[in-house]
Amino acid sequence: MNLNRRALILGGGAVAGSAAVAAVMKRPPLASPVAPALSPAPAAPMAAPAVQTRAAADARRLFLHNLHTGDTVKATYWENGRYVDGALAEARHALRDWRNGAQHDMDPGLFDVFHELSARLETDRPFQIISGYRSPATNAAMHERSSGVASHSLHMQGMATDIRIEGVQLAHLRRAALDLGRGGVGFYPQSNFVHVDTGRVRQWAGA
């Protein structure tokens, strides 16, 4: 092989090598693998703070059960600064004279007594009603049979009830009623009830 041909071959190889290097250098760099962006987890909804409105705090509830008729009243009888007529009507019916069905308006002050007694005794059980309203005929008949029944009982004016509460000792119910200082309180341990009324403040014990 002569020198000229050898130089041509070597020169051609150098040119080819340079072209390959240039091609590699022009090739775009490989992209680095990138992890997909994680979307932030949704924030847990915050519970709205419990807010008791003044109206709700001032609401008064009535829960009573008439042992003779089976009538039960569970209602809000006072809200927004006034007595609720519908609840008073329910209570009037439930506290009727069970012997003859006669009804009479009941003093709402009695229900205030019930409300305060429930709070003092820390109970949500119903007041069991032994006697609510008494018609004049019923009261007269009872007075004839027992001197313990007043001839002018406040039961006839819708101002008195005879009550007890299941699970509450009768003596505790009497003590709580006396502590209220809201009217008359009669204690009848043998008959198992406490008389409460909205008359003058006084107390007595019976059979």
- Rounded mean pLDDT of 115-120? 98
Residue pLDDT, tens place only, 6-27: 443 334 444 344 443 344 344 4
pTM of the model: 0.72
Pick the CATH number of 54-205 from 3.10.129.10, 3.40.50.10320, 3.10.180.10, 3.30.1380.10: 3.30.1380.10
**What is the β-pairing status of strands 72-79 and 184-188?**
unpaired
1 confidence band (pLDDT: 50, 70, 90): very low
55 confidence band (pLDDT: 50, 70, 90): low
- Rounded mean pLDDT of 94-98? 97
Q: Number of helices (H) and strands (E), helices first, in the chain?
A: 6, 8
Q: How far apart are the first and last CA of the chain?
A: 146
- Whole-number average pLDDT of the chain: 83
**Domain range summary for the chain, segments of one domain joined by +:** 54-205
Q: At what angle do helices 85-94 and 108-121 cross, to 10 degrees?
A: 90
